[in-house]
Amino acid sequence: MLRSFKLGKLFGIPLYLHSTFLLLPIWVLLTAPGSGLANALLLMLLLAAIFSCVVLHELGHALMARFFGIGTKSITLFPIGGVAQLERMSERPSEEICIALAGPVVNLVLAALLAPVALLALLSGIPQLDMSFTPEMGLAVVVGQFCYYLWTTNVVMLLFNLLPCFPMDGGRVLRALLSLGMGQLRATEMAARLGLLMAFLIAGLSVILPVVLGSSINPWLIVVALFVLFAGQFELWGVRQLHAQRRADGLAHPIAQTELVPVSKAPFSGVAWDSHYRVWVKWHNGHPVAYWG
């Protein structure tokens, strides 16, 4: 079974490295142009810098959640990025929007800090499209190219995370806005459907673009598409279960019983469909005892 390795703690939050992460440096070394020990070391240093930005992105989410009284169980690094596992998701749209946007804001700040050096490198003609470092490069060229790659990564992270693709940050903002008019469950369903569509679109582009551009297929885009697909559906399942549990406990909607069964003197026993939460609820003498959907 795949496991995660603890790297330490940041602001009291455990930081883990998933075992699959080791595939990324191997893939980079095998596919990146250039050769030699210096090139390999600089590529690994760049990879470490990029994932330091990923950690800061996730810390943005975690610390904003802490501001609203929500703890973070852990931050785990995967080959395609990081995941901050919060103790719970806020059900207040304003809080969810702030938590979701905190990560991209970190990338925006990092991109702004790196912009002067990246712009200078771009105007000097330093950056190369093929990510490689050669012994002939001077220190200034290496630093300029390094900062340009790091700046580009933060810009891409910023834009990609703002896509309305649930459960990405932009998708969470969309869910929060939709919930203002239709409630959290219905909003999550709508956002998850859009996320499903975006997942298929990303997977399709990962196959179509290489054919059009004459390049090889990037497997990481397919991995991202699969992550968006399964993570979004899993979170939707969790929201449905939470709301079904609340209905069964009589907490989420106090008038549920009068909605589900005819008014009568005898307490209702039997199974009834809950159209609000889209689950079947089993009642016994007027009390919910089980649910499924």
Q: Which residues lie across from 76 on neighbouring strands?
A: 16, 83
Q: Which domain holds residue 275?
A: 256-292
Is residue 242 in a domain? Answer: no
Confidence of residue 68 (pLDDT cuts 50, 70, 90): very high
Place of tokens 């005892």: 289
Is residue 218 in a domain? Answer: no
Is residue 116 in a domain? Answer: no
Is residue 278 in a domain? Answer: yes
Confidence of residue 266 (pLDDT cuts 50, 70, 90): low
Is residue 50 in a domain? Answer: no
Q: What is the pLDDT of residues 202-232, one digit of tens each?
A: 888 888 877 777 767 777 788 888 888 888 8
Is residue 265 in a domain? Answer: yes
Place of tokens 């103790």: 87
Amino acid at 89: M
Q: What is the pLDDT of residues 103-126, one digit of tens each?
A: 999 999 999 999 998 888 887 766
Is residue 66 in a domain? Answer: no
* Signed CA dihedral, 169, 174, 178, 180: sign only: positive
Pairing label, strands 270-274, 279-284? antiparallel
Question: Is 70 exceeded by the pLDDT of residue 262?
Answer: no
Number of domains in the chain: 1
According to the model, what pLDDT value does residue 132 have? 66
Q: What is the pLDDT of residues 93-105, one digit of tens each?
A: 999 999 999 999 9
Is residue 82 in a domain? Answer: no
